């Protein structure tokens, strides 16, 4: 394979800073960083910022559509947005041992990004098979829903959760439990109140999942995890109350990590999107949006995902009201532009910190660092080049997703990826796929 050199970029290297240098790449790996490097193909990026390929640690595929189609299209959409690796949450009632190797093969065959999986643990049989998933399949992260999705995902009780956390702890320091932290009993009471008053708006939907339900579950999950001794990753934190709780909990529980999402950082419950933005957990008050940004800045929040759920407007069913609309939206293709627009350009959010929360931190938490998450010799040659000054109007049809809408349709966002490099090859240029991209399933070891 020929040697490619990215010339005169501003390299955004987590833990180091911004360094003006060339990057040499060969056989899918970074081979050198320095001045005046030469190669068979030279790619000029002077004045542009170069980030390590981004990792979205939290997406869903195949919930409302064909898994093979979404494995192909949504990972390609991710590449258009500068994301080169995705963590896919998978769940169902059957034991995964019976079929999941086929899903791993599907990732090898159809994914444009690299893929690692998290498995939802919902039944005693799945719980008993956790050591097999980790040791034989190379899947070392497992999800528990303290509050599920009615009709789709059941809740787990505290006893089942503690047992699962103990099993994960027994696998060692590379395994991790992921938790959807909401109290279903508080949600039930709040839902009955909203039904009684006849609420129908996005803000009413937020009232069915009160902020206190998340805070309570965050505290309880941290406590149970402290008893078990495992590593714990709280997904999609959405409230100011939870951020304040993390300020108390993190010093006490050093194995505790927390994620938020780019939609929660950019949309609140008063959005004109209405029930197109129906989600679980719901969008929150503006004060929570600001608290999430503060939590990212101070390190209380470790990562940014999307909780991407691909579906069409017809499947979304916003016209059915808050009791009939489906939760979810496509977001993997807009995550980086949203973070650049609302964060780096809108709030002076540090670009190096952005590379930490969107690349290095998820790589370290999920056992992929330094293969992923940095720009260094020996790391995978996955890079994204961004132009902080470029302004583009979001059009869902240009994002490459199976979905027929975006939460940001018609918005002018400032700051976009202009090149995505996967395995040392330019695969996306100015939002267009210019070469076939081939991803793979990432097996992780204990």
Task: Compute the chain's Rg from CA coordinates.
Answer: 21
Tell me the C-alpha distance between 415 and 421, whole Å. Answer: 18
Task: For residue 258, give every residue at least 6 positions away whose Cβ sits within 8 Å of its Cβ, in sequence order, or none.
Answer: 233, 234, 237, 242, 246, 295, 300, 301, 302, 303
Give the residue-averaged pLDDT of 215-230. 98
| pLDDT band at 152; cut points 50, 70, 90 | confident
Give the residue-averaged pLDDT of 191-212. 97
Give the residue-averaged pLDDT of 267-291. 98
Question: What's the chain's average pLDDT?
Answer: 97
Tell me the C-alpha distance between 236 and 305, whole Å. Answer: 8
| pLDDT band at 138; cut points 50, 70, 90 | very high
pLDDT value at position 151?
80
Tell me the C-alpha distance between 225 and 44, whole Å. Answer: 48
Task: For residue 99, give every residue at least 6 positions away whose Cβ sits within 8 Å of its Cβ, in sequence order, or none.
Answer: none
Q: Among residues 302, 180, 166, which one has the least CA distance to residue 231?
A: 166
Give the residue-averaged pLDDT of 107-115. 98
pLDDT value at position 149?
87
Give the residue-averaged pLDDT of 403-410. 98
Q: Among residues 268, 265, 251, which one has the least CA distance to residue 303?
A: 265
Domains and CATH numbers, the chain: 4-49+378-433 (2.30.40.10), 53-365 (3.20.20.140)
Token digits for 67?
């898994």
pLDDT value at position 27?
96
pLDDT value at position 2?
84
Whether the ω angle into residue 370 lies within 30 degrees of 0, i.e. cis, is: yes
Look at residue 116 and give its three-state secondary structure. strand
pLDDT(5) > 80: yes
Q: In what order do the strands lie in the sheet with 83-90?
A: 303-305, 256-261, 232-234, 176-180, 141-145, 114-120, 83-90, 54-60, 308-309
What percent of the chain is predicted at pLDDT more than 70? 100
Token digits for 205?
């939907």
pLDDT tens for 81-98 read 999 999 999 999 999 999
What backbone phi and psi angles, to 5 degrees, belong to 406?
-135, 150
Whether the ω angle into residue 281 lies within 30 degrees of 0, i.e. cis, is: yes
pLDDT value at position 150?
84
Give the residue-averaged pLDDT of 202-208. 98
Task: For residue 198, give every residue at least 6 positions away whose Cβ sits within 8 Å of its Cβ, in sequence order, or none.
Answer: none
Token digits for 389?
């000054």
CA angle 388, 390, 392 (to 5 degrees): 130
pLDDT(55) > 90: yes
pLDDT tens for 303-327 read 999 999 999 999 999 999 999 999 9
| pLDDT band at 1; cut points 50, 70, 90 | low
Give the residue-averaged pLDDT of 238-264. 98
Token digits for 275?
């029930």
Look at residue 349 and give its three-state secondary structure. coil
pLDDT tens for 342-366 read 999 999 999 999 999 999 999 999 9
């Amino acid at each position: 394979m020929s040697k490619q050199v990215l010339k005169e970029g501003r390299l955004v290297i987590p833990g180091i800073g911004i360094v003006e240098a060339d990057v040499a790449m060969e056989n899918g790996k970074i081979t050198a960083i320095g001045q005046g490097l030469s190669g068979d193909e030279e790619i000029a990026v002077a004045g542009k910022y170069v980030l390590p390929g981004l990792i979205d640690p939290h997406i869903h595929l195949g919930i409302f559509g064909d898994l093979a189609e979404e494995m192909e299209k949504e990972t390609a959409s991710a590449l258009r947005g500068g994301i080169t690796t995705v963590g896919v949450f998978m769940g169902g009632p059957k034991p995964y041992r019976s079929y999941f190797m086929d899903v791993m093969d599907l990732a090898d065959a159809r994914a444009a990004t690299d893929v690692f999986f998290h498995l939802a643990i919902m039944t005693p049989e799945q719980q008993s098979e956790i050591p097999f998933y980790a040791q034989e399949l190379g899947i070392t992260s497992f999800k528990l829903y303290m509050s599920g999705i009615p009709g789709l995902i059941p809740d787990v009780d505290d006893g089942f959760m503690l047992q699962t956390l103990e099993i994960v702890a027994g696998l060692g320091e590379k395994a991790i439990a992921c938790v959807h932290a909401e109290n279903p009993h508080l949600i039930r009471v709040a839902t009955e109140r909203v039904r009684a008053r006849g609420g129908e708006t996005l803000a009413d939907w937020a009232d069915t999942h009160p902020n206190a339900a998340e805070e309570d579950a965050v505290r309880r999950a941290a406590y149970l995890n402290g008893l078990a001794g495992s590593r714990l990753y709280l997904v999609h934190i959405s409230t100011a109350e939870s951020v304040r709780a993390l300020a108390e909990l993190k010093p006490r529980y050093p194995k505790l990590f927390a994620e938020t999402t780019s939609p929660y950082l950019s949309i609140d419950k008063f959005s004109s999107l209405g029930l197109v933005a129906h989600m679980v957990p719901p969008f929150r008050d503006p004060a929570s949006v600001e608290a999430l940004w503060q939590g990212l800045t101070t390190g209380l929040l470790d990562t940014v995902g999307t909780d991407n759920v691909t579906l069409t407007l017809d499947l979304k069913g916003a016209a059915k009201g808050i009791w009939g609309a489906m939760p979810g939206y496509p977001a993997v293709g807009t995550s980086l532009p949203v973070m650049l627009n609302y964060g780096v350009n809108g709030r002076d959010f540090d670009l190096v910190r952005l590379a930490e929360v969107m690349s290095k931190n998820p790589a370290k938490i999920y056992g992929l660092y330094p293969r992923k998450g940095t720009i260094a010799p020996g790391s995978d040659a996955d890079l994204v080049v961004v132009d902080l000054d470029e302004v583009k109007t979001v059009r869902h049809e240009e994002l490459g997703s199976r979905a027929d809408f975006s939460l940001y349709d018609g918005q002018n966002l400032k700051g976009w990826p202009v090149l995505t490099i996967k395995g040392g090859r330019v695969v996306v240029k100015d939002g267009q796929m210019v070469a076939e991209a081939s991803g793979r399933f990432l097996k992780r070891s204990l």
